[in-house]
Amino acid sequence: MTSRLPRAARAVQPAKFPPAGLPGLDPAFSRLVTAADRTWHLLDNQAALDAAGVTPAGTVLCVHGNPTWSYLWRSFVSKATEQALAGGTAWRVVAVDQLDMGFSERTGVERDLTLRIGDLADLTDGLALEGPVVTFGHDWGGIISLGWAVDHRAQVAGVMLLNTAVEQPSDSKIPAPLRLALGKGVLGPATVSTTGFLETTLGLAHPPLSPLVKDAYRAPYRGASRRGGIGAFVGDIPVDAAHVSEAERRRVASAIARLEVPALMLWGPRDPIFSDRYLDDLRSRLPQADVHRFEGAGHLIAEDVDYAAAALTWLDDRVAAPAEAEPETGDARRAAPTETSTSLWRWLDARRGSDETALVEMSRTPGERPRVVSWRRLSERVSDLAAGLSQIGVARGDRVSLLVQPGVDLTAVLYACLRIGAVVVVADAGLGVRGLTRAVRGAWPDHVIGALPGLSAARALGWPGRRISTEALAAPLRRALHVEHSLPELASLGAAAGTAALPDVPGPETEAAILFTSGSTGPAKGVSYTHGQLAAVVEVLASTYDVGPDTGLVAGFAPFALLGPALGARSVTPDMDVTAPRTLTATAVADAAAEVDATVVFLSPAALTNVVATSGALNETHRVALERVDTFLSAGAPVSPELLAEATLLMPNASAHTPYGMTEGLLLTDITLEGIREAEAKAGAQAGTPTGGANGVCVGRPAAGVRIRIAALDGGGRASHDFDSTPDVTGEVVVSAPHVEDHYDQLWLTDRAARRGAPSGERWHRTGDVGHLDSEGRLWIEGRLPHVITTAEGAVTPVAPEQRIEAHPRVARAAVVGTGPTGTQQVVAVVETYPPARAVRLADSGLAREVRAIAGVPLAAVFLVPTLPTDVRHNSKIDRTGLGAWAEGVLAGAKLTEPK
C-alpha cells in the first residue's frame, strides 16, 4: 500500500489503557491481552459471568469500524451481562479494539483488509475462542467480521451487522464523505493531522451525541500520532480493481453467500455513507437474514436506537433456541399457502373476448369524456405489458414501485407485474414527499414505473430503480429523468413476443405486493402480501358484499379500485385528488356512478364528509344514478352513525356499511348502520342511559374466515400475551384470517411484536387497536394502544370519553389525551366547537364544567382549538400522539399555540 499519511502517524506508539469515567462504560469490562505478539484492548464480560457461575451459550465477537472503537459496543456488553445475571440467556461478549485503533497497539503498519481479517483470527486464537460464535460488525468492521466468519465456518452460529457494506454497486459512486477524504492531498490532513474525519463521523448521530460521549470517542485519538489507523482505514477502501484489498473484498463478498447461518441486519436509513443500496446488496447475499430498518437512525445506529435489546432478542429467537423459533428465513414470515386457487387475473382470462366495460377513468379536464376500457382491451393490455416487462428483464421477485395515479395505466401495469411474479410496491401519494421517499427507499425497488410527476420526484430525490415512464417522452426529457423504457414500448415488445414470452404463473405462496400503511401512527410500514393472501382478500370482499361480474363499483379508496378487475366488477375511480380525500364532491361520485351503473360505492370517511357537504349541487340525473346504489361502504377511520345516515339520504336504496380493517387486513369485520344503532341502543340500555352507554365504536362481527381475540390490558396500559374472547374485556385487538398480511417488510422487530403471544403453529396479528368484544361477538374499538392513558386509577381508553364529550351540542370533535409520566398521567380534552374557536384557548368555565360532567373521567384541562390535527392520508384520524405532546408542553408552561 502506498502511504499518503503523515510520517508521525506511522510511528509505533504504546497502547494506553482507557481513562476512567467514560459514560456508559463499566471499567470492569476493559482489559488488555496479548496475541501474536500484539497488545489488544477489549471489552469482555467473561469475568462477570465467571464470578456469577454462569456458563455462556456462546460468544458474540463485536468488531467496530472507523473511526470508532470498542466503546461503540458498551450498551450491548452491559445489557448482555445484565440479562445473563438476571437468569436469561448468557452470552460472552468480546468487543475488540482493532490494531492501530482505540486503545490497542499502534503497529506502525498500514493494515489492509487481508491483514485485518488475519489480525482478528490471531486474537481469537490467542483467546482460545471456541464456538459457537456470533459475529457482530459495523462500518468497515462489518466486512472484517464477515471475513473472520467465512474463515471459521465451523465455529460460527450466526452473523449480525449494523450499517456496513461488502461491495460498491457498479451504478453508483463511493459515498461523498469517503470520496472527499480520499482526495489528492486530503487523506492525511483530514484523517490524521486533524480530527476532521473523526468529528464528521461523531456528527452523524440522531439525536446528537452528548459532549461527554463525544469525548469518550475522542479519548484514544488525542494527537496525530494516535490517529494513523484512522487514515490507514480510509486509505484501505478499494477504489478500483488494482487496490491491494480488492481481491480480498471480492473473496469475502462472494463467500458470505455460502454462509448458511442465521443473520441479522439492523439498519439506520439516514446513513449518508452506507445507504439502503448497500443493505439491498447484503440481503441478496444473505437472503436468510432478518432485517430491521430503524427509521430516523443513521450511521451511528448504535448511538441512535436501542440496537442492543434488538440484537439480544434476535439471539434468543434465532440462535439460542432455534428449535423454538419459526422456521421461516429472512424477515418474511411466509404463511402456508391459502386454500384458494383463485388467481388475481382470472376474470381477465375469462373475459378476454368481452367488449363489456371493465374500467372507467374519469377525466379531470372539464368537458372531456371519461376513458372507457373493455375487458378485451384490458386483458390484452395486461398480457402485452407482462410479456414486455419480461422481455426487458423484469423477473419474478423483482420489486416494482408504481408511482402512477389510480386509473387504467396503474391497473394494467399492476396486473401485468402480478402475472409475471414481480412484487408491486404501492405507496400512497398522500404520504407526501418525505413519506414517499422513506417508503420507496425502504422497499428499494429494482424498477420504477411512473408518470411524469413521480419520475421527476424519483430523479430529484435519488430514488432507486430502473425507470419506466407511463408515456413516451421526448429524448431530452427521457435522458434527464434516466428513463429506459415506456409502457407503449413495452406493450409493443410484448405484443410482438406473444404470450409464449410469459413465465410460469406464480403460486399462492409467492410474494405479490408491498403495500404501505398510512403513516398515521408512525412512519409508514411496508406490508407484504402473497398471491394467496391477496386472492383471499378478493374472496372475502366478494362474499361479504356480493361483489362480482354484475357489480358496478365506485372506488373512492385506491386499494378497492385496483381490486375491481380481480372481483370481476366494472369499476371507476371518481374525479378526485387521491392525496386529499376531502376534494371528492357529491357530483363527482354521482358522475362516476352513472358511468358504471354503480351498485356499490366505497368512500373514505374524509371523502364522505365532503360528499355530504356538497350534496346541494346534485341534479336530478345525479340523484337517479345514486338511487341505483344498493351497497355503500365507508372505512379507514371511525365513521359516525350520523354521517352514515346523511349519506343514505343521497343513496336511499343502499345498505350503509362501515367495515373495520387496515392495510394489514383490508376487511376484518362489518356492520350496517342499523346494526350500529341496535348495538348502541343495547349498550345504552345496559348502562341505564339512552346516550353515553357505548364504550367505543361498534365495528360489527367478524367477516368470513376471521377470528378475533382480545389481549387484555394491565394497569400500565400493556397488552398481555394471552388471547381471550371473554365479553367486555378491554385490550389489544388480535386477529387471524387467510387474508391478513404475510409480514412487515424489513421490520423484523415490528413483525415479531405483531405475532407476540400467538399459539404455536397459528398465525395471529396484533392490530395495535384497543377494544372489546360484547356478549354477541361484536367488536368495539376504543382507540390505539399507544394512545391509552395510564392514570393512577388505571388505564383509560380515549374513544368512549371522546364520544361522550361529542354528545355536547357545542362540540364538533374531541380528542382525549394523556399528559405526564406513565402510571400517573392526567387526562386532557382538546375540542373543536360549533362555531369554531378563532384561536387556541382554555374553554370558558361554563363549557369546561359541562364537558367535565359528561366525560366520564376526571379532566385536568379542556382546550379549544380551531381544528384538530389529522393524519395526512385519511384526513380524518386525529393525531392523538402529537396532541398529547402539545398539551403536556402547554401545561408545563409552553406558549399556547395551535397544535400541528
Tell me the per-residue pLDDT of 828-872, one tens digit each, with 9 for 90 and over. Answer: 999 999 999 999 999 999 999 999 999 999 999 999 999 888 754
| Ranges 221-230, 639-648, 825-834: which has the least confidence | 639-648
The per-residue pLDDT for 176 is: 67
Yes or no: say if 415 and 382 are a contact pair by the CB < 8 Å rule.
Answer: yes
The per-residue pLDDT for 660 is: 93
* Region 104-110 average pLDDT: 92
Yes or no: say if 32 and 107 are a contact pair by the CB < 8 Å rule.
Answer: no
Class of residue 475 by CB neighbours under 10 A (exposed 0-12, middle 13-18, buried 19+) = exposed
**Positions of CATH 3.40.50.1820 in the chain:** 28-172+240-320
* Region 425-441 average pLDDT: 83
- In angstroms, the CA 860 to CA 819 distance is 9
Q: With bands split at pLDDT 50, 70 and 90, how would you rate the model's confidence at 578?
A: low
Note the pLDDT tens digit of each residue in 509-520. Answer: 999 999 998 766
Q: In the CATH hierarchy, which fold is given to the domain comprising 788-891?
A: GMP Synthetase; Chain A, domain 3 (3.30.300)
The per-residue pLDDT for 899 is: 86
* Region 231-236 average pLDDT: 92
Q: In the CATH hierarchy, which fold is given to the domain comprising 660-786?
A: Luciferase; domain 3 (2.30.38)
Where are the alpha helices (H) located in 468-597, listed in sequence order? 475-480, 487-497, 531-545, 558-567, 586-596
**Positions of CATH 3.40.50.980 in the chain:** 367-506, 546-656
- In angstroms, the CA 662 to CA 637 distance is 9
Give CA separation, 45 vs 83, 95, 438, 464, 875, in Å. Answer: 12, 9, 38, 42, 52
| Ranges 59-73, 542-556, 570-584, 762-776: which has the least confidence | 570-584
Note the pLDDT tens digit of each residue in 444-503. Answer: 999 999 999 999 989 988 889 999 999 999 999 999 999 999 999 999 999 999 988 899
**Positions of CATH 2.30.38.10 in the chain:** 660-786
**Positions of CATH 3.30.300.30 in the chain:** 788-891
Please name which of 682, 721, 346 lies closest in space to residue 531, comparing C-alpha atoms: 346
The per-residue pLDDT for 761 is: 82
Model confidence, pTM: 0.89
Domain 546-656 indexed as CATH 3.40.50.980: yes
Q: With bands split at pLDDT 50, 70 and 90, how would you rate the model's confidence at 298?
A: very high
Q: With bands split at pLDDT 50, 70 and 90, how would you rate the model's confidence at 875?
A: very low
| Ranges 141-150, 197-206, 521-530: which has the least confidence | 521-530
Q: Mean pLDDT over all residues of the chain?
A: 90
Please name which of 858, 878, 861 lies closest in space to residue 869, comparing C-alpha atoms: 878
Yes or no: say if 719 and 708 are a contact pair by the CB < 8 Å rule.
Answer: no
Task: Look up residue 303 and give its three cell numbers.
Answer: 448511538
Please name which of 405, 337, 349 lies closest in space to residue 376, comparing C-alpha atoms: 349
Yes or no: say if 517 and 663 are a contact pair by the CB < 8 Å rule.
Answer: yes
How many Cβ atoms from other residues are within 10 Å of residue 899's Cβ?
20
DSSP string, 677-716: HHHHHHHHHHHTSSSS---SEEEEEEPTT-EEEEEEB-TT
Q: In the CATH hierarchy, which fold is given to the domain comprising 367-506?
A: Rossmann fold (3.40.50)
Task: Look up residue 340 and give its three cell numbers.
Answer: 384458494
The per-residue pLDDT for 178 is: 67
Note the pLDDT tens digit of each residue in 340-399. Answer: 557 899 999 999 999 999 999 988 777 789 999 999 999 999 999 999 999 999 999 999
Long-range contacts of 567-570 (CB under 8 A, 24+ apart): 567/347, 567/538, 567/541, 567/542, 568/347, 568/350, 568/351, 569/600, 570/356, 570/357, 570/358, 570/359, 570/360, 570/596, 570/597
Helix (H, G, I), strand (E, B) or coil at 292: strand
Q: With bands split at pLDDT 50, 70 and 90, how would you rate the model's confidence at 579?
A: low
Domain 28-172+240-320 indexed as CATH 3.40.50.1820: yes
Q: pLDDT over 90 for what percent of the chain?
A: 74
Helix (H, G, I), strand (E, B) or coil at 191: helix
Looking at per-residue pLDDT, the higher value among 557 and 791 belongs to: 791
The per-residue pLDDT for 11 is: 43
* Region 5-27 average pLDDT: 67
Beta strands in 64-150 (DSSP E): 92-96, 133-137
Long-range contacts of 832-838 (CB under 8 A, 24+ apart): 832/864, 832/865, 832/866, 832/867, 832/868, 833/864, 834/809, 834/810, 836/812, 836/866, 836/867, 837/864, 837/865, 837/866, 838/866
* Region 88-105 average pLDDT: 97
Yes or no: say if 99 and 132 are a contact pair by the CB < 8 Å rule.
Answer: no
Q: What are phi and psi of 851, to 5 degrees?
A: -65, -45
The per-residue pLDDT for 689 is: 53
The per-residue pLDDT for 893 is: 87
Q: With bands split at pLDDT 50, 70 and 90, how would you rate the model's confidence at 229?
A: very high
How many Cβ atoms from other residues are within 10 Å of residue 829's Cβ?
26
Task: Look up residue 33 and give its three cell numbers.
Answer: 491481552
Task: Look up residue 76 and give its three cell numbers.
Answer: 450491548
Please name which of 18, 88, 9 lies closest in space to residue 52, comparing C-alpha atoms: 88
